[in-house]
Amino acid sequence: MKGEDDVNTARKDEEADGSGEKLLGFYSTEEQPSGPGGQDGMWRNEKYETLPLDVKGTDEDNSKGTKDLLYPQAALRKAQQGNERPKDPKLWPYFQDGLRRIDYVLTYHVQKPQSTRKQSAKSFLFCKFRHEQSSPPAHEDPELAAQKQRLDYHEDDQRLRREEFEENLREMGLEMEREEGNKIPGVGFLKIHAPWEVLCREAEFMKLKMPTFKKYKVSQGSSIVEKVNMFMQKVTATLQPKVGENRTENEKHLSYPFSREKQHLFDLSDRNSFFDSKTRSSIVYEILKRTKCTRAKYNMGISSLLGSGVYTEAYPLHDGDIDGINAEANDRKILCEEWASYSIFYKYQPIGLIRKYFGEKVGLYFAWLGVYTQMLIPAAIVGVIVFLYGCVTVEDNIPSMEVCDERNNITMCPMCDRACSYWKLVTACGTARASHLFDNAATVFFAIFMALWATMFMEHWKRRQMRLNYIWDLTSFEDAESQPRAEYEFHVMKKSLKKEKSPMEENVKLTCRDRMPAYMTIIIMMFFLIFLTLAIVFGVVLYRVSIMTALHMSSTPTFRTNIRATVKTTAAIINLIIIIIMDEVYGAIARWLTIMEVPKTDKSFEERLIFKTFILKFANAFTPIVYLALFRGRLIGRPGKYIYVMGSYRMEECAHAGCLMELCIQLCITMLGKQLIQNNLFEIGVPKLKKMLRQRKIDKKHQEELNKTLHRHEKDHFLGPFVGLNPEYMEMIIQFGMVTLFVASFPLAPLFALLNNIIEIRLDAKKFVTELRRPIAVRAKDIGIWYTLLRGISKVAVIVNAFVISFTSDFIPRLVYQYMYSPDGTLHGFVNHTLSYFNVSHFQPGTEPMESMHLGYKVEVCRYKDYRDPPWSDTPYEFSRQFWAILAARLAFIIVFQNVVMLMSDFVDWLIPDIPKDISIQIHKERNLIVELFMKQEQGKKYRNTIGDPSPQPLRSRPSSQA
608-637 pLDDT per residue, tens: 999 999 999 999 999 988 888 888 877 788
Q: What ranges make up the beta strands (E) of 110-219?
A: 175-180, 187-193, 209-217
Q: pLDDT band for position 733 (50/70/90)?
A: very high
Q: What is the mean pLDDT of residues 57-70?
A: 35
Alpha carbon distance, N-terminus to C-terminus of the chain: 32
Query: 774 Cβ partners below 8 Å, 6+ apart?
Result: 281, 315, 316, 317, 318, 357, 358, 716, 722
Q: What is the DSSP string of 115-126?
A: HHHTTHHHHHHT
User: pLDDT grade, residue 253 (50/70/90)?
Assistant: confident
pLDDT of residue 29: 33
Give the residue, 954 or 880, on which the prediction is more confident: 880
pTM of structure: 0.81
Contacts of 164 (CB under 8 A, 6+ apart): 43, 293, 294, 295, 962
d(CA 538, CA 252): 60
Write down the pLDDT at residue 694: 63
Stated as kind and residue range, the H or E segment containing 500 is none
Give the pLDDT confidence of 332-368 residue by residue, as tens digits: 888 988 898 888 888 899 999 999 999 999 999 999 9
Task: For residue 377, give the 3-state DSSP assignment.
Answer: helix
Q: What is the pLDDT of residue 30?
A: 36
Query: Cβ contacts of residue 502 below 8 Å, gap of 6+?
Result: 496
Of 156, 131, 129, the residue nearest 146 (C-alpha): 131
Give the model's pLDDT for residue 396.
86
Neighbouring C-beta atoms of residue 914, cutoff 10 Å = 11
- The residue ranking higher by pLDDT, 945 or 77, is 945
C-alpha 122/C-alpha 127 separation (Å) is 9
CB 96 within 8 A of CB 136: no
Average model confidence (pLDDT) across the chain:
77
Instruction: Name the β-bridge partners of 663.
Output: none
As a whole number of angstroms, the distance between CA 601 and CA 37 comes to 37
pLDDT at 659 exceeding the cut of 60: yes
Domain locations along the chain: 100-110+145-208+263-317, 210-240+247-257+916-944, 337-500+507-812+899-911
Q: pLDDT-based confidence at 27, cuts 50/70/90?
A: very low
> What pLDDT does residue 612 have?
93
Which of 656-665 are b and which e, b meaning 16 or more Cβ less than 10 Å from the residue's Cβ? bbbbbbbbbb
